[in-house]
């Protein structure tokens, strides 16, 4: 099993928007840093061909989603998000546009991509979409 890498400390920036941007930026960095990009890309690729790798991928991302979900809990506590927001879905929607670009469209990802993804997910959460 692959242990989750260190990630954004929930509440680190003091605002849910900043925390989500930091999370999305961390994902972008993982896919663009030559020293780290082979690990997440290899994990996803291997999971397409191996049940064991697929289970490792599920466990890895489950742990990351659980840790990052604290960002939403802090946002609710501070009144920045509505009570009952689906924290895991907020994390998924923050990261999904980055994964789409990396694995589907092949478009580049950068800090602007991270900021746009985080802000779109935040707007959807505030609107009660999830």
| Predicted TM-score of the model (pTM) | 0.88
**What is the residue-level pLDDT of the chain in tens, covering all 130 positions?**
444 455 555 558 999 999 999 999 999 999 999 999 999 999 999 999 999 999 999 999 999 999 989 999 999 999 999 999 999 999 999 999 999 999 999 999 999 999 999 999 999 999 999 9
pLDDT number for residue 10: 52
pLDDT number for residue 130: 94
Give me the residue spans of the domains in the chain. Answer: 16-126
- DSSP track, 30-56: HHH-TTTTHHHHHHHHHHTT-HHHHHH
| Residue 71 · residue 118 · CB < 8 Å | no
* 16-126: CATH topology: Tetracycline Repressor; domain 2 (1.10.357)
Q: Which two tokens stand for residue 90?
A: 């907020």
pLDDT number for residue 2: 47
Whole-number Å distance between alpha carbons of 103 and 81: 30
């Amino acid at each position: 099993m692959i242990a989750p890498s260190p990630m954004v400390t929930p509440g680190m920036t003091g605002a849910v928007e900043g925390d989500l941007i930091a999370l999305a930026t961390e994902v972008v960095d993982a896919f663009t840093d030559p020293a780290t990009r082979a690990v997440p890309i290899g994990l996803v690729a291997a999971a397409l061909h191996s049940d064991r790798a697929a289970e490792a991928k599920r466990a890895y991302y489950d742990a990351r989603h659980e840790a990052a979900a604290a960002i939403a809990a802090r946002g609710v506590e501070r009144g920045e998000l509505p009570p009952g927001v689906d924290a895991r879905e907020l994390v998924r929607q923050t990261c999904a546009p980055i994964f789409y670009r990396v694995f589907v469209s092949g478009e580049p990802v950068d800090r602007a991509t991270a900021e746009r993804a985080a802000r779109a997910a935040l707007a959807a959460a505030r609107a009660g979409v999830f």
